[in-house]
Structure 1
Amino acid sequence: MENTLTAGSLLAGIRETRLVAIVRGTDGTAAAKAALAAMEEGFRFVEIALTTPNAFEAISAVRATAPADCFVGAGTVLTAQDVDRVAEAGGQFMVTPSLAESIAESARLGLPVLAGALTPSEAYEAMNRGATAVKLFPASIGGPGYLKALRDPFPGIPFIAVGGVGLREATAYWEAGAIAVGLGGPLFGDAGSGGDLAPMRDRARGFVDLAAEFARRSGAEILR
């Protein structure tokens, strides 16, 4: 179970894979199975939302059986108590939907945190509080164009686009400068609530292949 994750290694891994999976459902056991299935299909970073019943048990189950190069975190982490409970459950990184107190608490404990923000002021404040990266949420409000405009004054802030991002939208966010996209419903569907895992696995492979193709194309363009 020993598989440490620092802010630096999380950031490097997310930059490399360009993908973060987000499980949210009505059944903790199903959410754990869905998270592990995503890892088996190539996702290295998966968060389980704390709004999922028995989320802490699900995080523990995934942490105990995840492949060595895969990491499980918690989403919708709002309070300092949430951070403590996630850490006790074995969660390796935190994700917030907003400028919650959990950002500073995660940073204080040395736990990587992807902090939710939408506006320029929120993004700047998230990094001031110790965020590893900013989760642009909900990204669909402004789309890739908004992300590009947001990055102009903040070229050093790593942004992850989350909210309304599907297979057809992902590439545009990467091209706009997102280091990754966060995928919830467009990836998992109802798998986190006990739905069939087979279609989810197909979608997971599609996202992994798309990210790999984008990386190859980007590398080729740099070499020109």
Structure 2
Amino acid sequence: MTWPTTLPLIAILRGIRPDEALPHAQALVDAGFDAIEIPLNSPDWALSVRRVADVLGSRALIGGGTVLRNEQADALAAAGGRLVVTPNTRPSLIAHAVARGLHVAAGFATASEAFDALDAGARALKLFPATTYGPGHVKALKAVLPPVPLFAVGGITPANLAEYLKAGCLGAGLGSDLYKPGQDVARTAAMARAFVDAYRQATA
């Protein structure tokens, strides 16, 4: 099972507004990101997804996070999104999204949840919240999981990213350390470069 982007870092733009979405997404892509998640609890999220997907959809995997229900996955697909990120393990939602042709990164915490997500068709797993469990949890899970893209999400910074990669994560989802609502594009660009540099140093 493989991940469909080149750089296994998912930029999470929680709280972004439609008028801000494209400039920040462009800064991320320019820095090397090719996966962007706009959480569904952001203002008018579908418009943000549409604007970003229309311009950058050929260069990056654009989608939504905090997807909880089938109809949300449908709305995301209608807006041009191709990535579904969930905070939890809901097999019926995962199977529905997969049937729609969407890439699913399913949130989980335990081995049981991980296998339920994979059985439902998830393409990747999202350990959340990662820093609550730590790299040791990742290492233990990797001993029993099949080869599957595993992302650490929640509390990941340029300083601790390498620990999770060394423990067995393919990559990470990056939230408040990368983007906070209202920050300027220059800050997003600077943090994006810091994460890309941290990833490249850790995997060199």
Distance verdict in 2 for CA 1:64–1:117, change over 3 Å: same
- Partner AA of 1:160 in structure 2: F
TM-score of the aligned structures, taking structure 2 as reference length: 0.93
Alignment-derived partner of residue 219 in structure 1: none
Alignment-derived partner of residue 196 in structure 2: 208
Whether the 8 Å CA contact 1:25–1:31 is kept in 2: the answer is no
Q: Does 1:102 align with 2:90?
A: no
Alignment-derived partner of residue 125 in structure 2: 134
Q: Which stretch of structure 1 is more off in the superposition, 153-162 or 197-206? A: 153-162
Structure 2 residue ranges without an equivalent (≥5): none
Alignment-derived partner of residue 54 in structure 1: 44
| Aligned mates of 1:26, 1:91 — CA distance in 2 | 16
Q: Does 1:115 align with 2:106?
A: yes
The aligned length equals: 203
- Partner AA of 2:71 in structure 1: Q
Q: Does 1:74 align with 2:64?
A: yes
SS state at 1:178 partner? coil
SS state at 1:68 partner? coil
Q: Quick check: which one's helix share is greater?
A: 1
Q: Does 1:33 align with 2:39?
A: no
SS state at 1:187 partner? coil
Residues 175-214 of structure 1: CA deviation (Å, up to 9, x unaligned): 00101111010111x2xx3321212211111111222222
Q: CA deviation at 1:71?
A: 1.9
SS state at 2:177 partner? helix
Superposed CA RMSD in Å reads 1.6
Identical residues among aligned pairs (%): 37
Q: CA deviation at 1:161?
A: 0.5
Alignment-derived partner of residue 115 in structure 2: 124
SS state at 1:98 partner? coil
Whether the 8 Å CA contact 2:17–2:48 is kept in 1: the answer is no
Q: Which stretch of structure 1 is more off in the superposition, 147-156 or 132-141? A: 147-156
Q: CA deviation at 1:12?
A: 4.1
Whether the 8 Å CA contact 1:24–1:31 is kept in 2: the answer is no
Structure 2 counterpart of 1:197, from 185, 193, 196: 185
